[in-house]
């Protein structure tokens, strides 16, 4: 299940960065290592809903936080 979650998160971040990050908002006002930190919500079906915070530098996304909410 964890492998599937990682794949879905990676795919979602790649899609958002390639399409102008329309579902993304700033996670915090302060920068992280000089970069804006973004976040968005992703529903992973049976696993639950996750909030992903990440930074992007030169087309490389670094995940900072993943919060999981199970139902």
How does the average pLDDT of the chain come out, rounded? 90
User: CA angle, corner 35, sides to 2 and 30, nearest 5?
Assistant: 100
Residue carrying structure tokens 């199970």: 70
pLDDT band at residue 70 using 50, 70 and 90 as cut-offs? low
- CB contact set of 69 (below 8 Å; sequence gap of 6+): 48, 49, 50, 51
Rounded average pLDDT over 26-43 = 94
Rounded average pLDDT over 2-23 = 91
Task: Parse the chain into domains and list their residue ranges.
Answer: 2-69
Say whether pLDDT at 2 is over 70.
yes
pLDDT for position 71 = 54
């Amino acid at each position: 299940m964890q492998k599937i979650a990682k794949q879905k998160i990676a795919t979602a971040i790649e899609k958002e960065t390639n399409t102008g990050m329309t579902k993304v908002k700033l996670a915090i006002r302060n920068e992280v290592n000089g970069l804006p930190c973004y976040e968005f919500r992703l529903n992973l079906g049976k696993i639950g809903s996750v909030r992903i915070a990440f930074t992007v530098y030169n087309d490389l996304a670094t995940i900072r936080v993943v919060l999981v909410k199970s139902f």
